[in-house]
Amino acid sequence: MFVVSLMLVASASAQASFARLPIPDDAKSVIHAVHVAAKARDYRALKALMVSEFTWSFGGDGDANQAIEAWKHDQQALYELSRVTRLRCSFITDVSTIQCPANAGIYYRAGFTKTADGWRMFYFVAGD
């Protein structure tokens, strides 16, 4: 039991240390671009900032094109995407995943990951 408790504390400590790392400028630039595109309802710009296998629903949907089509009919989603990308973001679990806002819980959150094409948004969800 002591070993399990020690492992949980170490894991939480590692996650906390990732959260304190500064966000790279290239990632900040992409997050800002997503914010601007969502606010302007610029679907073409948003699509260019997303990975193609994009998670936007826990109902099995996992495609950037599907997300864009859904957002065209759900202006609240674009408002929320614009809102969360102006809040404080941080690394979560490791240095390959940034989430905005940092501690969203089950509320709206956007995730960004480093790809061969640079940082891209790979999820925007709410719920658990």
For residue 89, name the pLDDT band (cuts at 50, 70, 90): very high
48 lies in which domain range? 2-125
pLDDT of 124 higher than 80: yes
Helix axes 25-40, 75-84, angle to 10 degrees: 150
Q: How confident is the model at residue 65 (pLDDT cuts 50, 70, 90)?
A: very high
pLDDT, mean of residues 58-81: 88
Count of the separate structural domains present in the chain: 1
Q: What is the pLDDT of residue 95?
A: 83
Identify the pLDDT of residue 16.
55
The per-residue pLDDT of the chain, averaged, comes to: 84
What is the model's pTM? 0.83
Q: What share of the chain is helix, strand, coil (3-state, %, to 5)?
A: 45, 20, 30
CATH number, residue 51: 3.10.450
Reduced 3-state DSSP string for 74-90: CHHHHHHHHHHCCCCCE
ω into 101 cis (within 30 of 0): yes
Distances (CA, A) of 27 to 1, 3, 71, 75, 76: 40, 37, 23, 25, 24
